[in-house]
Structure 1
C-alpha cells in the first residue's frame, strides 16, 4: 500500500438547489517523499482534493487514507501553506516561525534554536526581529515555508502558494522550495495552474480537468538536478502537457518522460 491512497473519491455540493460535482471518481496513489503537483485550470477540483487530503473537507464518497488511516480531520503532523501566507502581523518573523512549535509544547529555548535554523535555511535569519509588514511578498512566503518546516511535518500541502508573486520572485521561490524539500525528503502535494511551475517542482504532474473534476493523466518527470526551463527536455515535457490540455478529457493514462 502506498503512503497516500485516494480511492474512488467524489465530492458533491448543493448550490442554490442544484447539485454540483467538484470531484468525480478520483484515484491516486502517492509514495512517501514524492513531490506531486496537481495541475489544471480553475474549477477542476485540485484545491478541493487538497482540502480533502489535508482534512479540511470530507469527501462525499470514496476514501482518502494516509499511512493506512482514513483522513477525517487535520493532523498536526501535516501542514498547509496558502497563497496569503497566514502570518500573524503582530508577531515578529521569529515568533511566526515558532507558532507551530508552541502548539507542540516545545520549550522556549529549543523553539528559538529551531526557528533560527529554518530562517537560515530560507535566507531570512537577519530578518528574525522584523514584522511581516516590513517584508516583501516573497519574503513573507519564505517565512511561511520556514514555519511549516520547523515542525518537521510528514506532509506539506501547498495551495498555489506563489500565485500572487511576480514572475521573477516566483521562479526564485520555485527553485528554493525544490532544493529545500529535496534535502528534507518531505512529501509535498502542490496545487498549481502553471505548467512550467509543475515541471520545475514535481516528481509527477497530475493533470486534472473540470466539469466534473477528475484526473485525466499523470506525467512522470525524469529531470535530474536543478531544472533548466530552457533545456530541450524541459520544453519537450512542457509541450506534452500542453497537448494533454488541448485534447478532450479521456480515460486516465500515465506517461514516463
Structure 2
C-alpha cells in the first residue's frame, strides 16, 4: 500500500509513520508513504492557500486550486481512480469496518484541512470519502490522517506478528475485546481467572465470548444493538442482563 498525505505541516506526521509497527511495515515493503505540502502547488505569489469566505464570517477557508493541483499531480500516473480521503469533523464517523475497507486499497490520498474549513468544491468534486475520527474539532487534519494510516497499515497482510491479532481486535467482531492476562498468575494477591490456567480451550473460548459480551454490555450497549447474535450469545447476554454481578466461571 502507498499513502499520500497532503498537509501544510509535514513535520507533524513523519515521526509517527517512521516508528513502531509502521516503520517495520516499511522495512518489510508492505507500506510506503509520501508527504505533500500542497502550499508548494499554489499559484498565489505570496504562497497563500487560504482566503476569506464569500458572504463573510469568521476564519479563513482553504482555496481549491492548490489542493486540486496537488492531488492531480500525485494521482496522474495511477492506473485506477485514487481513493481520496478528506479529513473533516463533518465526515462519516471512522470505524474499524471502514479501516478494513480501506486496507483493501493499493493507494490512499489523505487531505489534511486547516483554518475554518475547505472550499466546498474540494468536498464535492475531488474527495471520494470524508472522514471524522470523532465529534470534536482539532487544529488540523494531521492527527486524523495518522490515526487512519496506523489503523489501516496494521491490517495489511504480515504487518502484525500474529496473523489473528487484527481479526480479534475490539470492533472487528462487533464487540469489545475480552480481558487479557499474562504472568505472573498471582500479582500482589490479584489472580488470573482459573479458567485461563485450565488448559481447556473450549472453556477458555466460552469465557472469552462471555467476557466480550459483558464488557460490551457494560461499556457500549449501542454496539450490542447493531449485532446479529447467535443463539449461544443470546443466552449468555440474557444471563448478563439478569445478573449485574455476572462473572463467567
More relative contact order, 1 or 2 (CA 8 Å, 6+ apart): 1
Say yes or no: TM over 0.5.
Answer: no
Q: If the length of structure 1 is used for normalisation, what is the TM-score?
A: 0.25
TM-score, reference length from structure 2: 0.26
Larger Rg: 2
